Structure formats: C-alpha cells, structure tokens
C-alpha cells in the first residue's frame, strides 16, 4: 500500500489525536480572546497588532508636547477616561448624599432633634426623600439665594450634627 499523508493526521492515530487536541485548544482560545468587533481596539488581537505595528498610534498629530507628538486619538481617550471618572464620582457622591439624607430623616422621625430643627429640615427632607427632581431643584434654586431659609437650614444642620 502506498504512503498516505492523511493517515498520520487521522483521528485513529496517536499523532492525529494530539493535533486535533491542540487545534481545539487554539480555536477555543481564539474564540475567548476575540470580541467579534474588528478594528475597535478593544479586542486582544487588535491590541497585539497595535503593539507590534507603528506603536499603536493612530490619528492626526494635533500638537507637540515635550518633543512627542500628541494625537487626537490620545486626547479622545483621555476625554473618555475623565468623563467616566466624573460620572463615577458624581454617582458615588449622590449615593452617599442619599444615605446621609436617609439617616437624617430617620433621626427626624424618631424625634431625636429639636422641634425647630425638625421644622427647618422638613421641606428639604420631604423633597429629597420623595425623589422629586423638579421639586428638589426648585427648593435648591430658592435655597441658594442666601435667604432666611438657608440660614435656618445651616443652623439646623449644625444642631443636627451635635446630636444630644
């Protein structure tokens, strides 16, 4: 019988089984590491290509800083990162602010604060805990015009911090 090269890579042969196992692993890794979006820059293979190509620098040169080119893609990337950080911090501040307001509302309901402090805090707590954005915005708009309400609120908050 003549030599048949396909007999070596057959599933019945020892070499064939090893080759099929290696190819299966390579295919699985390729599937896991690829995102399916070609040229997006988020894919593992796009990043490897960027490393080994022209340093991963794309876009037009818009400025020179300290002898290096500054490209518009780099500026856009920094802008996206800063926007994400700003949104994260705003969300974290809102969550912590909501927790403080909820704790203050519990203290008011429990009667831990003086009646004049409670009276000054009630308009604020009612609009904030009800999640009424328009009412809360209107309250803050009138509040930050340095009115008597603001002075009463500041005094009430300072008294609330000094819980008996």
Question: Are 70 and 61 contacting, i.e. CB atoms less than 8 angstroms apart?
Answer: yes
For residue range 41-98, list pLDDT tens digits in order. 677 777 777 777 765 567 788 999 999 989 888 899 999 999 999 999 999 988 888 8
Q: What is the pLDDT of residue 90?
A: 92
Q: What is the pLDDT of residue 110?
A: 85
> What average pLDDT is seen over the chain?
78
Among the residue ranges 2-6, 12-16, 29-33, 64-68, the one predicted with the least confidence is 2-6
pLDDT at 134 over 80: no
Percent of the chain's residues with pLDDT above 90 = 17
HSE, CB side, 13 Å, CA atoms: give it for residue 126.
Answer: 9
Q: What is the pLDDT of residue 159?
A: 73
Question: Are 137 and 105 contacting, i.e. CB atoms less than 8 angstroms apart?
Answer: no
- Find, among 141, 134, 106, the residue nearest to 121 by Cα: 106
What separation in angstroms does the CA of 85 have from each of 75, 77, 80, 82, 89? Answer: 15, 12, 9, 5, 6
Q: Residue ranges of the domains in the chain? A: 8-56, 73-161
pLDDT at 118 over 90: no
């Amino acid at each position: 019988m003549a030599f048949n090269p396909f007999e070596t890579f057959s599933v019945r042969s020892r070499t064939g089984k090893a080759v099929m196992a290696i190819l299966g692993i390579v295919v699985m890794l390729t599937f896991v590491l690829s995102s399916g979006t070609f040229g997006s820059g988020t894919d593992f293979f796009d990043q490897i290509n960027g490393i080994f190509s022209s340093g991963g620098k794309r876009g037009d040169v818009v400025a020179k800083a300290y002898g290096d080119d500054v490209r518009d893609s780099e500026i856009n990337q920094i802008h996206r990162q800063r926007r994400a950080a700003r949104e994260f911090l705003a969300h974290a501040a809102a969550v912590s602010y909501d927790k403080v307001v909820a704790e203050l509302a519990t203290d008011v309901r429990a009667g831990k604060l003086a009646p004049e402090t409670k009276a000054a805090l009630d308009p604020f707590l009612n609009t904030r805990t009800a999640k009424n954005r328009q009412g809360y915005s209107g309250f803050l708009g009138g509040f930050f015009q340095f009115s008597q309400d603001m002075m009463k609120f500041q005094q009430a908050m300072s008294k609330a911090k000094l819980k008996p």
